[in-house]
Amino acid sequence: MEYLYETHCHTSQASACASVTGGELAKFYKARGYDGIIVTDHFFNGNTCIDQSLDWEKRCELYCAGYKDAKRVGDRIGLTVMFGIEYSYKGTDLLTYGVDEDWLKAHPEVMEIDVHEYIKLVHESGGMIVHAHPFREAWYIDTIRLYPYEVDAVEVFNAGNHDAQFNRRALWYADSYGLTKTAGSDRHDTADKGCGVTIFNEKIHTIQDYIRLVKSSGISRLIGEYE
């Protein structure tokens, strides 16, 4: 049996470019046969809608509101909802899994340290880094930065890429370095359009399940351009 998961999506409660709430997102994915989603809203160094003048703890609480909304609805309708973040370093986006609200509150330094220190801190905390759309070209990305010896996996299909070349290059990159491949929709709304799905033969209940399977080559297949 196969289980379908969304690994990259955004809510309007924390991402300025999103137009769908966490609860609406949960219903959307449940209706399309998914077994779970990971909410990865843009962090404070990305396209956030959280007021940056607030104190750190309040900002962290508001940042998690979209995830909590999705989880509340997901628990009711039978969809597993997990927490992640999309951390940005000068336009380079790193999907971060295995940290939570308490971790964020305890580490305000993540806004000051460089990207290498950030990746190290996440790993030391038991988390995992997946490089999102590594070859995307856009106005907000001034340089394509690659960290093949530091990230745990590469998003080789991202439905939010407007050019298929960006996905093909990501696939080439992952193959070149023997990196695990994931797929994500990078969804910001509920329009019926392309999707990226990461599929497992085992049902995932927690973000630690997801990390374990990604790190142990437990992904069954991906749906996207390279299905």
Q: Which long-range contacts (CB under 8 A, 24 or more apart) does 160-168 make?
A: 160/133, 160/185, 160/186, 160/187, 160/188, 161/133, 161/136, 161/186, 163/137, 164/225, 165/135, 166/133, 166/135, 166/136, 166/137, 167/135, 167/224, 167/225, 167/226, 168/225
Give the integer Cα–Cα distance in Å for 54 and 122: 24
**Chain segment 85-126, per-residue pLDDT in tens:** 999 999 999 999 999 999 999 999 999 999 999 999 999 999
**Chain segment 16-48, per-residue pLDDT in tens:** 999 999 999 999 999 999 999 999 999 999 999
Q: Tell me 155's DSSP state.
A: E
Q: What's the pLDDT band for 225 if we cut at 50, 70, 90?
A: low
What would the mean pLDDT of 134-154 be, rounded to a whole number? 96
The answer to whether 219 touches 130, Cβ cutoff 8 Å, is no
Say if residue 28 is exposed, middle or buried (CB neighbours under 10 Å; 0-12, 13-18, 19+).
buried
CATH, residue 151: 3.20.20.140
What would the mean pLDDT of 142-149 be, rounded to a whole number? 96
Domain that holds residue 195: 3-223
Closest CA to 93 of 119, 64, 69: 119
What would the mean pLDDT of 141-167 be, rounded to a whole number? 96
* Higher-pLDDT residue of 24, 226: 24
The answer to whether 166 touches 196, Cβ cutoff 8 Å, is no
What is the number of structural domains in the chain? Answer: 1
